[in-house]
Structure 1
Amino acid sequence: MSGIVGYIGKSSAESILLDCLTHLDYRGYDSAGIAISNQEKIEIRKEIGRIEDLKTLLEMEPITGGNIGIGHTRWASHGSPTISNAHPLSDDQSQFYVVHNGIIENYRQLKNELITKGHVFCTDTDTEVIPHLLVQHDTGNFEETVRKVLPLLKGSFALAIMSKHQPDTIIGISQENPLIIGFGQNEAFLSSDISALLSYAKEIYPIKNGEIAILKANEIKVQTIEGETIKPEKRIIEWTEDDFSLQGYEHYMLKEIMEQPKAIKNTLEGRLTENGVNIPELEPFLKESFEYRKIDIVANGTSYHSGMIGKKVMETLLDIPVEVSISSEFRYEHGPLSEKNLVIVISQSGETADTLSALREAKQYGCKTIAITNKRRGNIARKADYTICTNAGPELAVPATKAYTTQITALYLLAIALTEKTKGHGLDRIPEMLKELHQLPEEVEKTLIMTQDAIDQFAQVTEDQYRLFLIGRGLDYVLALEGALKLQEVAYLHADAYAAGEMKHGTMALITPGVPVIALSTQKHLRDKTISNIKEIKARDAFVVGVTTIGDDDVSEIVDEVMYIPEVHPFLMPIIAAIPLQLLAYYAGTVRGYNVDRPRNLAKSLTVE
């Protein structure tokens, strides 16, 4: 969450920083700001709101000249979204200028110490202690001062810093929080995400923990905190500008929903064979003896729902208990852990702070770890023992869509590989799963065609609603949880998901005439029971929309409206049935007039706990 950019070269820093920040606003859009040096002085402009608001301010109050600068787009974690709390931040003597992602965990202690020494603070942020510390420990040498201050900071953070006394230099630091150097033609960039660099650089280097990047107009140095020079191993950017463009769609969310057939195909490619599953990234792991007593799946939000699907499938196929945990709880509430636990962590961004903490916790106990992520070079991928990259391509809308379906796909591949490895009791179910996995991208494409227009019409029903219920059993219940989350974050509906059989144990009191209920019925072996639950709700005059498979007349006869989807293997139905729920959230959000790509109070990459 929050985005950092930096530029040093011969072009206008203002225009480049604004363009880069525009590509990072999915990381935070509460406020934005830039600081630019013209080699004589450093000027700051900050504004609440999105990058467009900052651009408007700069049209009225331009920064004249300057080809060195840093910028930031903020998701507020410490202090409300105000101009004073917006980054860049400086000290009370305007000597150092800082943009910051992450959390300084000991900032209260540092702030109190600095106040006793006469420093005056004017924001509610943890970030403000950094420029004050730089002033307090200033040696007269910018690099030495930064090296002196860094050990005082506890937490996970990325920083870009400028100094009034050395205005030709930017220093970048990454500590458990992403920051990337971009190498251009006689110019250099910093960014917390590759998306900001695509128009300017083809080669990058992710700054590692314990490293400092020193950017000057004529040289880029990477050193350890102790001062030892490191030769950065440059990497080619794999994504293109087309991957980050809207390509004719009105919103990224709709584009990414429609990209799911391709994204799932990419997840399967090179891993799904005619007769089995081959995951090259896991070859060393799968060659080892398998002596694990338990599998733990750990994730947040939508990724947690993916993990819940993975748990149900793995427990059906394997002879090993599987538990799924919320990342933010796992670190403090996990059961016994040892080298006999296999821990699977899931994160679209590969930077989720809670999941990183859970991963570190698991490794402290000697657990073997596998990451499922969309960023093969993210922190989580670097720290896990093994990584399965979903290869879904960039996901720029804050609500996760193709991340969800590709994570489930990756979990299915892993479940099959582990079942084949251990000769699990579900081994005889593998051939049918393999056959249908080959057809999965086509079935998702078919679902998109079948449901898009009908869901758009149903979304009109939600315009004047303030609550909605989703019900289902088994895998459909997990799907209901994900559908409710999407409606909450995109349409701001009070959407609640329930296991269908639990409605009569209290929640039925909330069912009133006309209240919308989405009843999911995609699992044949649970259909009769689900139908009974639907009848109970209909008896209270709710408006029920059924989501079921083609040819299911039993559900269609008792609901007010029905949404048909293709029938595939029961394990694959959570992917197919996710499509109409994603589309419903999208159209419900747009019909209610909301920015579905940038929901209020949310950000894409949650790099703070």
Structure 2
Amino acid sequence: MCGIIGIISHTPVASRLVDSLKRLEYRGYDSAGIATLDAGQLQRVRAEGKLKNLESRLDGEPIAGTIGIGHTRWATHGAPTVANAHPHATARLAVVHNGIIENFRELKAELQADGYSFESETDTETVAVLVTREMDRGAAPREAVANVLGKLEGAFSLAFLFKGEENLLIGARRGSPLAIGVGRGEMFLGSDAIALSPFTDEVRYLADGDWTILTHDAAEIFDEDGNPVDRPVTVSAGKPFYVDKGNHRHFMQKEMFEQPEVLSHTLGAYVNMTDGRTRTPKGQELDFTKVRRIALSACGTGYYAALVGRYYFERYAGIACDLDVASEFRYRESPLSDVDLALFISQSGETADTLASLRYAKSQGLKTAAIVNVPESTIAREADVVLPTLAGPEIGVASTKAFTCQLMALAALAVRAGVDRGVIKADEELEFTRALMEAPRLVNEALHLEGEIEHIARDLATQHHALYLGRGFSYPLALEGALKLKEISYIHAEGYAAGELKHGPIALIDETMQVVVVAPHDRVFEKTVSNMQEVAARGGRILLITDHKGAASGAMDGARLLVLPDMPEILIPIVFAVPLQMLAYHTAVQMGTDVDQPRNLAKSVTVE
């Protein structure tokens, strides 16, 4: 997760910007930079690698000024070079940015046709040049930013610094978080309360779609329609705590809402955003032309991610996959002679059964790869190939953002495998990567259903049992949805392939049984609806989670609907996971359980 900080003050800000960025190091990054105004003139210093490199450059090239912005970057569009590091600047302004601008290629082509040039490979520079063009046409900074925000597609947060404007910072968010810090004669912008905590504990969190104009003494806030709004001041816990919940009630809720941002960072590790081609992460080579069969293994939520991965690899790359729970894989003694790659999934990289399975696979001479969220973990150190999920720290025991980042990594890898094997043509690869770039925005739209889901959860919290049904890509989601509900609300829940309903579970259906049906309008939609009708005929309580096409053709009397946007098939597991997470979360909140630390569970299972 990239980090943003902005300061408008009456005292020098360069060292304070760097100090704040140090508090954001936990989010992960591969370059950093700051920009300030000195006598109204833009100054900028950037560096590859860690903040010590930026500090070394600042020692040799000190910059002055009482207003500035800073950024730590995970490379998405373009390599982690100085040229691609933030802030990006034109003659008129500097900008820092978290997230993905989906339509940057079209916007960049439009700007180039108007005679504007570019120095980097990033989508962020396109935003800087767009605002510059508006100002070249006579717009004031606030008008220019307002005009540009409406042109941007994707999930993002932005902070702008303008030449000659020493009493003005502008920030905006759509998906990625951004907060205002309230000082005394100074104001701040930051990715979270941790970034702001050296300076103030009074924080105003921008709602999704908000943008703000900061001066030394005030913050004007506008919603996405340009209407003035007020956001309350909260007292942050950022000072005493290393990781902060922000304005969320629990870490799990905060981590759900971080998904648009962290998905963009994970995608950047597997897709070259400049040309739209898939890749394996730098230094981690996998030749899928030599892979006949993959053995997938993981535990818990990671196992359900692996189940989605099996669908991805078999459908998009034509590679057969075996799948095992890690605790069984190591003891099953399966013949592995036709397996060319053993792929393991673990959030922590320390899961005991998964680590033991990896060691077993290595003992059998297999090439091993690991999808992990902690690059310094044991599994990461021992695997032949390390495939990162850039989800950042996940504090809540119930995995949310780590799960969807695992799905993003698997989706991109399956497309890469399909390209390597000639199953996916070059133009088809671009279609897939464009679809994957939509994930942060679509996940953000799913998060907007929270109020509706909270209302549904009040009813679910009165139930004692629930069945989750799905087919195809939705089957692993049914399993994951049931797991989430049971582990944090303690309601008994089971997930089934919808086609298995008549092979036993239908005996449980009566008017007291809650049935959650995950059914986007895909190739098996009609079959899933048929199973849903069987539930309805027996009086079951139905919640149908679908898309607009599914709602139009599959709604039935008595069933509750939760409707997501229509989307490409490859995105279904990533986006549809979000309402299932929120349903479990709000049910648990209604029941008063310890959401972040549910009973009997640990974040990382390091013993058998």
Amino acid at match of 1:276: R
Query: CA 1:576–1:528 in 2, change beyond 3 Å: closer, same or farther?
Result: same
Q: Determine which of 504, 511, 516 is the counterpart of 1:513.
A: 511
Contact 2:292–2:319 (CA under 8 A) maintained in structure 1: yes
Report the aligned-residue RMSD.
2.0
Contact 1:481–1:496 (CA under 8 A) maintained in structure 2: yes
Question: In the TM superposition, what whole-angstrom CA distance separates every residue of 1:376-413 from its partner, at most 9, and x where no partner exists?
Answer: 11000000001011110000000000011000001111
Contact 1:327–1:358 (CA under 8 A) maintained in structure 2: yes
Is 1:310 paired with 2:285? no
Contact 1:316–1:426 (CA under 8 A) maintained in structure 2: no
> 1:537 maps to what in 2?
535
Deviation at 1:302, TM superposition (A): 0.2
Contact 1:317–1:427 (CA under 8 A) maintained in structure 2: no
Amino acid at match of 1:454: E
The runs of 4+ residues in structure 1 deviating greater than 4 Å are 240-243, 425-429
> 1:118 maps to what in 2?
none
> 1:133 maps to what in 2?
none
Task: Out of 272-281 and 426-435, give the one that drifted further.
Answer: 426-435
Tell me, what secondary structure is at the counterpart of 2:246?
Answer: coil
| Residue correspondence of structure 1 range 466-505 to structure 2 within 5 A | 466-505=464-503
Deviation at 1:282, TM superposition (A): 5.2
Tell me, what secondary structure is at the counterpart of 2:493?
Answer: strand
Query: CA 1:470–1:387 in 2, change beyond 3 Å: closer, same or farther?
Result: same
Contact 2:466–2:513 (CA under 8 A) maintained in structure 1: yes
| Residue correspondence of structure 1 range 106-125 to structure 2 within 5 A | none
Contact 2:281–2:387 (CA under 8 A) maintained in structure 1: no
Deviation at 1:271, TM superposition (A): 2.9
Q: Scaled by the length of structure 2, what TM-score is found?
A: 0.58
Tell me, what secondary structure is at the counterpart of 2:344?
Answer: strand
> 1:336 maps to what in 2?
335
Is 1:407 paired with 2:414? no
Contact 1:471–1:519 (CA under 8 A) maintained in structure 2: yes
> 1:389 maps to what in 2?
388
> 1:365 maps to what in 2?
364
Amino acid at match of 2:393: P
> 2:51 maps to what in 1?
none
Is 1:255 paired with 2:254? yes
> 2:325 maps to what in 1?
326
Tell me, what secondary structure is at the counterpart of 1:375?
Answer: coil
Amino acid at match of 1:538: A
Q: In the aligned structure 1, how far is the partner of 2:285 from the partner of 2:463? A: 53
| Residue correspondence of structure 1 range 153-164 to structure 2 within 5 A | none
> 1:436 maps to what in 2?
435
Q: In the aligned structure 2, how far is the partner of 1:242 from the partner of 1:555? A: 48
Contact 1:546–1:559 (CA under 8 A) maintained in structure 2: no
Q: In the aligned structure 1, how far is the partner of 2:559 from the partner of 2:333? A: 44
The percentage of counterpart residues that share the same residue type is 38
Q: In the aligned structure 2, how far is the partner of 1:326 from the partner of 1:607? A: 15
Q: In the aligned structure 2, how far is the partner of 1:241 from the partner of 1:342? A: 45
Q: In the aligned structure 2, how far is the partner of 1:377 from the partner of 1:248? A: 30
Q: Kindly tell me the number of residue pairs found equivalent between the two proteins.
A: 368
Query: CA 1:420–1:467 in 2, change beyond 3 Å: closer, same or farther?
Result: same
Query: CA 1:459–1:278 in 2, change beyond 3 Å: closer, same or farther?
Result: same
Q: In the aligned structure 2, how far is the partner of 1:548 from the partner of 1:242? A: 39
Q: In the aligned structure 1, how far is the partner of 2:270 from the partner of 2:308? A: 20
Q: In the aligned structure 1, how far is the partner of 2:242 from the partner of 2:338? A: 40
Deviation at 1:425, TM superposition (A): 6.0
Query: CA 1:378–1:516 in 2, change beyond 3 Å: closer, same or farther?
Result: same
Deviation at 1:426, TM superposition (A): 7.7
Amino acid at match of 1:545: L
Q: In the aligned structure 2, how far is the partner of 1:316 from the partner of 1:426? A: 14
Query: CA 1:278–1:377 in 2, change beyond 3 Å: closer, same or farther?
Result: same
> 2:566 maps to what in 1?
567
Unaligned runs of 5+ in 1: 1-198, 200-239
> 2:277 maps to what in 1?
276
Q: In the aligned structure 2, how far is the partner of 1:243 from the partner of 1:266? A: 22
> 2:111 maps to what in 1?
none
Question: In the TM superposition, what whole-angstrom CA distance separates every residue of 1:468-513 from its partner, at most 9, and x where no partner exists?
Answer: 1111111111110000000010110111111112112221111011
Deviation at 1:298, TM superposition (A): 0.8
Is 1:296 paired with 2:299? no
Tell me, what secondary structure is at the counterpart of 2:438?
Answer: helix
| Residue correspondence of structure 1 range 139-150 to structure 2 within 5 A | none
Q: In the aligned structure 2, how far is the partner of 1:427 from the partner of 1:558? A: 45
Question: In the TM superposition, what whole-angstrom CA distance separates every residue of 1:433-453 from its partner, at most 9, and x where no partner exists?
Answer: 11111111111111111x100
Tell me, what secondary structure is at the counterpart of 1:280?
Answer: coil
Deviation at 1:338, TM superposition (A): 4.2
Query: CA 1:546–1:243 in 2, change beyond 3 Å: closer, same or farther?
Result: farther
Query: CA 1:292–1:392 in 2, change beyond 3 Å: closer, same or farther?
Result: same
Amino acid at match of 2:518: L
> 1:193 maps to what in 2?
none
Query: CA 1:427–1:521 in 2, change beyond 3 Å: closer, same or farther?
Result: farther
Asked which structure has the greater CA Rg, the reply is 1
Q: In the aligned structure 1, how far is the partner of 2:512 from the partner of 2:599? A: 28
Deviation at 1:329, TM superposition (A): 0.4
Q: Scaled by the length of structure 1, what TM-score is found?
A: 0.58
Amino acid at match of 1:272: V
Q: In the aligned structure 1, how far is the partner of 2:315 from the partner of 2:249? A: 41
Q: In the aligned structure 2, how far is the partner of 1:419 from the partner of 1:571? A: 13
